[in-house]
Chains A and B, each alone.
Chain A
Amino acid sequence: FAAPAVEVPQATPVAVFKLTADFREDSSPNKVNLGVGAYRTDDNQPWVLPVVKKVERMIVEDQSLNHEYLPILGLPEFRSSASKIALGDDSLAILENRVGGVQCLGGTGALKIGAEFLRRWYYGYNNTATPVYVSAPTWENHNGVFADAGFQDIRPYKYWNAEKRSLDLAGFLGDLESAPEHSIFVMHACAHNPTGIDPTPEEWKQIAEVMKRRNLFPFFDSAYQGFASGSLEKDAWAVRYFVSQGFELFCAQSFSKNFGLYNERVGNLTIVAKDNENLTRVLSQMEKIVRTIWSNPPSQGARVVALTLNSPELFAEWQENVKTMADRVLLMRAQLKAKLQALGTPGTWDHITQQIGMFSFTGLTPHQVEYLSKEKHIYLMASGRINMCGLTTKNIDYVAESIHEAVSTVQ
């Protein structure tokens, strides 16, 4: 590294990290952080789910637990219960023994393992030219993960209609029709990040029809199951529909948000294969990939999730905790829209309650976003994305008034 001729350039800072840093340095008592992607209570505090606290204590007290390395693919009872949560108790694919899971380091880890596998084994051997489509816009790390896995052709598919603040279905379907066969499509299972706009079931059916016809590979990113609508089934509808249509697919699941286990990195890559023989071969290759990145995954978070999902009482308690979070978000959405409308803020604000999940694409322009951070100490992404969890009953009036000001005075 030391040779003077070599320069290590500063990497582009990750936008959301920078936002958090700017917020932290701001000394204004009114400051509001609408940037970070984690749940906050009405007191603006992180929330350890009561069921999680209970289970963590159970784990520590359990003398019979094995403290050794987990198997390479992870805790077996975690993998099976995680896949079951995604695909449903009555999933035929599970019954037919063609569903497997790989415990990974959060949703990112699951995307990473899936991407590495696909680059090596999908549609030929080491076919780095296979196009990977990500939504426009999408979670910015999608690009990074697939690029680092070796894919050379990562393209956007139309998704967000900025003018109408809705799904650009025609554009999406058009891109599906024109995509080269066997392309990989990364889709958000629910609570699209950053727009909050999901296809309706009818729209998903249309999407699936084209993908089937054109042999396109679905790679779902499911980071908000249960958190989006409060219902696990509803939030998994799209994934389950695709499975019922006979697709082979991957689903990267994150339990960071719906278990509040951000710090323990709990994720699962669910694999739906054509048959059990294929599944076995896929899993053996997954093992090889895992061994070159983290060898075997951390046990704590997986144990918490597995114990919770596999116990009827704990499972019920968890569903209630999840609903608590989802309900608070829905309340903030309703209140923000109501206040903006009451203030007579220019524009329409229906999209705030039409969108779902943690995030809302407000439609604020970069200048308006800048105004909010500089003049009002309210921090949000330059794209206009806000995290509804950053809103509380205490700051919502201030935020609504500030948005009103920004929209009225700045283009």
Chain B
Amino acid sequence: THADMGYSFVSLSCVALCLEHQREDGHALVPPLIWKIKQQISTDPTLHADFAPALGLPEFTRRATELALGRECRAVVENRVLGIQTVGCTGAVRLGAQLLRCWYNRSTGWRGPVYIPSPFYAVFQAAGLPDVRQYRCWEAGQWAASEGHVLEDLRAAPEQAVVVLCATAYCPVATDLSQKHWKHLAHVLERRKLFPFFLMLGQGLCLGDPEQDAWPLRHCVSLGLELFCAQSFSHSFGLYGERVGHLLLVLKQNTLLLALQSQAESAVRSLWSRPATLGARVVATVLSNPANLAEWREGVRSAAERCVLIRERLREKLRLLGAPGSWDHLTQQGGLYCCTGLSAEQVAFLAKSRHVYLCNMDYVAESIHLALTSPL
């Protein structure tokens, strides 16, 4: 499935293990809360099936914005924020990229560059921004986020460049930086006049707390930076197939808001016309009801906890097996993915000979041990 999502590890050879909730048959579980809400929706006589507005269900965009930026965000109060429901995170990135292509620094005919460490470069290119560049975010050989590399590459970026940043450590090659690191990064963004385009997938699942996961984004907004943020609700709500995404636009001036909104409507009209409603309705129902919200928060907290336990167990099991190498990076990384540092051949071995896709940690550990110690 993750190959389907287009994740490519361009300069790294590693396997991402997905640590999400799974049933015995390997398929993703639907959280009971979500299932309950879907039932409610399917039997609600007041809900009709008319088109959603082009920019999405207002109740959803309001809650999605609030989840990302918090309730007391100055930018929201000053009416400088636009929220648009999109078809998944990909849809948010595509729409954001198109808006940048048409309206960012229009007087200079800006066409890039876009700095991006993660798998959405094809989306930017398809949107008419072919100048896509990588920036380093890993310490090679250590499989840990490298603040030094990130800052170095961004300091060298031309002014007005767009920089794609993962706000949560969800993407397999996300920058997994501390708050201190993020403060440095934000300072560079400000000084170099770079435009941040955040990707926020699985908010709440990394540190177990949606507010903490959104910290990098909120910090940049509090500095008064202009930015976009593409949010995905697939993982935090178990709504993969429903394609619930959100594009957040935070502007410096609210005078541009209405015009940008009309341009976004025009762009959406030629992409998908209106978004699908079921997933957005579910999310809105969760986020707008205190009891649902509490249940959801508890769910993401325990999912995040479980990931930490799984990491520890994997590391411990590998140690017990005597697998070569150091495996500390497994527990030092955060989020739902871990990069193991295996080579391309070792990865192929895992897939072909051991059929490793499932989350049976003992089996995974044994398989990794075999990959490292057998002749391939």
Which A residues contact B (CB, under 8 angstroms)? 1-3, 5-14, 17, 38, 45-46, 48, 52-53, 56-57, 59-61, 66-72, 105-106, 108-109, 112, 141, 144-145, 147-149, 256, 260-265, 288-289, 291-301
Contacts and interface: CB of A to CB of B under 8 A. Distances in A.
Contacts of A2: 226, 251-253, 256
B104 interface: yes
Contact of A105 (B35, B39, B87, B239): B87
Interface string B243-286: 10000000111001011101101110111111111110000000
A135 to B, nearest CB: 19
Chain B interface size, under 10 / 10 to 19 / 20 to 34 / 35 or more: 35 or more
Contacts of A109: 271-273
25 contacts: A2-B251, A13-B262, A14-B266, A17-B54, A46-B50, A52-B49, A57-B42, A57-B43, A61-B39, A68-B27, A69-B5, A70-B241, A105-B271, A105-B272, A108-B273, A141-B273, A265-B274, A289-B126, A293-B90, A293-B272, A294-B87, A298-B242, A298-B243, A298-B278, A299-B242
A11 B278 contact: no
Nearest to A46: B48
Given A262-B50, A294-B90, A141 B271 contact: no
A260 B47 CA distance: 13
A292 B126 contact: yes
A53 B242 CA distance: 18
A8 B105 contact: no
Contacts of B279: 298, 300
Nearest to B53: A17
A294 B272 contact: yes
B6 interface: yes
A265 B272 contact: yes
B63 interface: no
A108 B87 CA distance: 14
Given A60-B39, A265-B272, A1 B90 contact: no
A296 B273 contact: no
B5 to A, nearest CB: 7
Interface in B105-128: 105-107, 122-123, 125-127
A207 B349 CA distance: 57
B301 to A, nearest CB: 21
B94 A293 contact: yes
A296 B4 contact: yes
Given A57-B43, A105-B275, A263-B276, 11 more contacts: A6-B103, A6-B105, A14-B269, A46-B50, A69-B5, A108-B272, A263-B51, A264-B277, A264-B278, A291-B90, A300-B279
Closest 3 CB pairs of A and B: A299-B241, A292-B126, A295-B90
Nearest to A259: B49
A262 B241 contact: no
Nearest to B91: A294
B240 A69 contact: yes
Nearest to B47: A48
A115 B63 CA distance: 34
Contact of A1 (B35, B242, B256, B273): B256
A59 B42 contact: yes
Contacts of A59: 42
A344 to B, nearest CB: 37
Counting chain B CB atoms within 10 Å of each CB, the highest count among A10, A60, A67, A149 belongs to: A67
B49 A263 contact: yes
B122 A292 contact: yes
Interface string B81-102: 0000001111100100000000
A147 B269 CA distance: 12
B344 interface: no
A145 B270 contact: yes
A69 B87 CA distance: 12
Given A38-B50, A144-B269, A264-B278, A67 B238 contact: yes
Contact of B1 (A68, A141, A144): A68
A213 to B, nearest CB: 32
Given A69-B4, A141-B270, A299-B241, A10 B262 contact: yes
A1 B30 contact: no
